[in-house]
Structure 1
């Protein structure tokens, strides 16, 4: 195994003809490999791992039998069919990829869902659409989870076979080719991975290996994982190494790392990051976290490069919509003030007490103003913030295109790493509702759960897209029904990203030295970021005109609208004066 680690999981090719099989199940008595109609006993080691070496050929179907229970390989690289069926012995395609990557500070991200990014919903079809993103100045794609889940379609956060690409999207070789096409176009690829839980159907690890889970803790999505055990850590670390080394992805977005609770020293995330950064790669490695705790220590220590900054989204969302329920409550009190903090400090919640904060426990967060702008991934919309709404509406449907053009300009020209959700670059109005493909009782549980989740919200009339209806899945394809102003949005996106490339990136590479903001009113603000090579200024009007003297007198920079408009934006750069 990688880095001299023992093999705890999966089927690994040793030669053209020999394969090593392993599964960790310390509480089991006997285990077998079922291959080619034969059931062959495995040897149990002192560490609780069953192992066996056999002659076999790539493409052959196999299963494990643990104490008489027949299951797919929990670390299968590919399934013959569903999450319940046989696994397939799989060799990876050598891509010959010579991509050397890019500096993280230069990133402009598009979040994409393979199943809805195109009508076909495959890696091959998605690869064919990537050039459209590149033409606008987008240089990174963040792919929502592709680990195999139950059913034909879903968001991907219910994966149960973490090593196997979802078969509806294509084969492992198809994903290798997707990454190669992206790299040939100059696109980096970030893969979203879920290491905090397993989905509700097809997660056989809970049955064959109860020791994998922490019996004293649960996550909002299922049993908690016991990261104190070395074989458990290796399951996920080897998975991460596989995506980076074997497939060629440029980095990982780690879902809900606040649920990766581990009292060990080093903690799981620290070991994961250390092992990944020790890989001999020809390109930079990028690790991005989703962490609702708003802590900075992982970025301070260089374990992660950046964190999704939901505080930025929540501030902007409340400012544009007036919504004030659930996690929006604390950001609805002073949204323009919170947006000003987000634009200077990154996080808004930094350990201070905030009114109506729905999070349990003490105030969340830690000071973040010392972090560089590229430590934050900012977004006006994400799959979460759209899809976790009852109807899956995009922000443009709630706030209108005039406001969203200004928000778009602010996002793409501010010094933080910007991220767009698929279709946002062309002003898409299509929803992104929650969808899945479960059957029977589980399907009914999902339907009832979604209704219960939204029943307490003001204004919810009980209308909810059926997440199990294939039409709900089909409705989420943003490019099938483009808005009339799609070309205007394309031109705007390209214009903003060209400005970012020529004006903002040189500042970012000179190092930030400070930031300040000025709230002009309830819907407008001005902000200045200082760098070694100059200053970046922006004036943002999201429903309120500002005094004209706040704009540059000579009309320099990039402008949308005029200072007399309620919705307008201006950004410009000034060079330092040396005496």
Structure 2
């Protein structure tokens, strides 16, 4: 299989390859020079060696009439509509080795590179995050998108890191600095669709898509095509090899609907990143397909756990929270004991969702209280610091950071940020109108936005002010929140994380309308117990004795017979101890 894109062979030439099965003729345009024809090869490929140097800009010309960026461009210095640039992936002089952190040590903070000021802006936060106890940052998608600001999920050139964030070498410098601090770096990759502006694959590679299968973004990507599979697998390997990224989070693989491709991707990544190197592969998957965590993937984002916790914290039950409105405490208990809440049960649409997951270890699930979706998909982008009582959020944070599941934070969580994180784009003209109106229409069935006047208050995704409002502010925070995270992460790294390998659930008992007691046997034989009460009243419970009380979120010490309102108690019970 050919390598998509342009790859330097030496200081004076590069190999160019474009899969264009609908084209009759393909040439390379280099910096205004006469076109250089690419010979046709087998199965729709056009490939050839062309004289050029690093940094030169080029485009592909299809059938002498359509001029496009390289779909596998490694850099777009003038944006998605400009020419591609030849990149020397060997030029950067790496200073630090891979951190090689095992998955069970992961404490991940998700960040939006643009909102933090580009690659250099993110780098400024790294020392603080490392000192706090974060072990990995996860960058929202970097693939080139239209304009200068976007969540990243509208990318159209997935090999090219977004030009408005900085250069490819500035991204490498960010990863290098993170590694020097012992931080792993993940990125979010989008293999389920392309954005609505700047993608020309339909014009010369129509079989990249399967028109018989439709998704919310149009025709589905056809992973039965070998060149299509290679496109995305080569993309995954590019991030892991050329940028020394430590892990990938695959966005919305339920929209890919090709387990065979996912398995092949995981197998190839594992085979080409061998030795002592630790590479993390994580899924977002509404289908709750447990078998994928037994076939090359480390974990899945556990939306079920988040949704049950959100309903308990806020009492919101509109939209997808409707699936969790009846006895959410029982659903949270199932999550803590077995991983997924939906393991084949019917959802609100009457559809069976999920597979049994109780046989998987707790580390196969990424738990979170917030992420970009769960904040940004709200009409006004509010965080939990504005939606629930501080004591309840403090208790839930104790559960998040001390359970044996892998914790994920969103940027600003550790500071108690009150700043919104809104949905933002940089579209123009008719597309901007469509996105703005579509965004407001989404919320028409919510009580708070039932009339046109209230929906008009939803921020325009394309306004620069929407993006500016989504940036963190050191003034708009909850006092003392950083200290809470520092305390909990220190406890996690000393008492929980080292013993996550071999950890198994001992079950989770519901003890009240908003209270439960979860237990795990850690890998060293000790029992970890978390008692959580998100009700406004105390809950009777027999707390373990003897035990080591790791954490108590309440202001006063709990008696052994009850949990205070809105509190979390985390206990460590030595091997062989009898508890009452």
Classify the TM-score, shorter chain: over 0.9
Question: Which runs of structure 2 are paired with 1:278-297 in the superposition (5 Å)?
Answer: 278-281=271-274, 282-297=276-291
* SS of equivalent to 1:102: coil
Residues 362 and 504 of structure 2 are in contact (CA less than 8 Å); yes or no, is this contact kept in structure 1?
no
Query: Alpha-carbon deviations, 1:365-408, whole Å to 9, x = none?
Result: 11111101110000000100111111111122111322111111
Q: Does 1:502 align with 2:502?
A: no
The Cα of 1:480 is off from its aligned counterpart by: 4.4
Query: Separation in 2 of the partners of 1:300 and 1:56?
Result: 45
What corresponds to 2:421 in structure 1? 432
Question: Which runs of structure 2 are paired with 1:363-512 in the superposition (5 Å)?
Answer: 363-460=352-449, 461-462=454-455, 463-485=457-479, 488-509=480-501, 511-512=502-503
The Cα of 1:450 is off from its aligned counterpart by: 0.6
The Cα of 1:202 is off from its aligned counterpart by: 0.4
Query: Separation in 2 of the partners of 1:47 and 1:331?
Result: 49
The Cα of 1:275 is off from its aligned counterpart by: 0.7
In structure 2, stretches of 5+ residues that fail to align are none
What corresponds to 1:122 in structure 2? 118
What corresponds to 1:270 in structure 2? 263
Structure 1 residues 112 and 442: alpha-carbon distance in aligned structure 2, compared to 1, 3 A threshold: same
- What root-mean-square deviation, in Å, do the aligned CA atoms of Structure 1 and Structure 2 show? 1.7
The Cα of 1:484 is off from its aligned counterpart by: 4.7
What corresponds to 1:45 in structure 2? 41
Query: Separation in 1 of the partners of 2:475 and 2:431?
Result: 32
Equivalent residue in structure 1 for 2:165, among 158, 164, 169: 169
Query: Separation in 1 of the partners of 2:550 and 2:234?
Result: 48
Query: Separation in 2 of the partners of 1:506 and 1:209?
Result: 49
What corresponds to 2:211 in structure 1? 215
In structure 1, stretches of 5+ residues that fail to align are none
Query: Separation in 1 of the partners of 2:149 and 2:463?
Result: 11
Residues 200 and 222 of structure 1 are in contact (CA less than 8 Å); yes or no, is this contact kept in structure 2?
no
Q: Does 1:513 align with 2:523?
A: no
What corresponds to 2:231 in structure 1? 235
Query: Alpha-carbon deviations, 1:43-65, whole Å to 9, x = none?
Result: 11121101121111111111000
The Cα of 1:554 is off from its aligned counterpart by: 7.2
Query: Separation in 1 of the partners of 2:545 and 2:380?
Result: 41
Query: Separation in 2 of the partners of 1:156 and 1:447?
Result: 17
Query: Separation in 1 of the partners of 2:544 and 2:569?
Result: 7
* SS of equivalent to 1:411: helix
Q: Does 1:573 align with 2:564?
A: no
Query: Separation in 1 of the partners of 2:327 and 2:273?
Result: 47
* SS of equivalent to 2:254: helix
TM-score (norm 2): 0.94
The Cα of 1:477 is off from its aligned counterpart by: 1.1
What corresponds to 1:99 in structure 2? 98
What corresponds to 1:66 in structure 2? 62
The Cα of 1:481 is off from its aligned counterpart by: 3.4
Equivalent residue in structure 1 for 2:85, among 78, 85, 88: 88
Query: Separation in 1 of the partners of 2:354 and 2:301?
Result: 14
What corresponds to 1:138 in structure 2? 134
Query: Alpha-carbon deviations, 1:228-272, whole Å to 9, x = none?
Result: 01111111111111000110000100001111123xxx8111111
Question: Which runs of structure 2 are paired with 1:273-352 in the superposition (5 Å)?
Answer: 273-281=266-274, 282-301=276-295, 303-352=296-345
Q: How many residues align?
A: 560
Q: Does 1:149 align with 2:145?
A: yes
Residues 534 and 565 of structure 2 are in contact (CA less than 8 Å); yes or no, is this contact kept in structure 1?
yes
Query: Separation in 2 of the partners of 1:329 and 1:100?
Result: 41
The Cα of 1:223 is off from its aligned counterpart by: 2.5
What corresponds to 1:193 in structure 2? 189
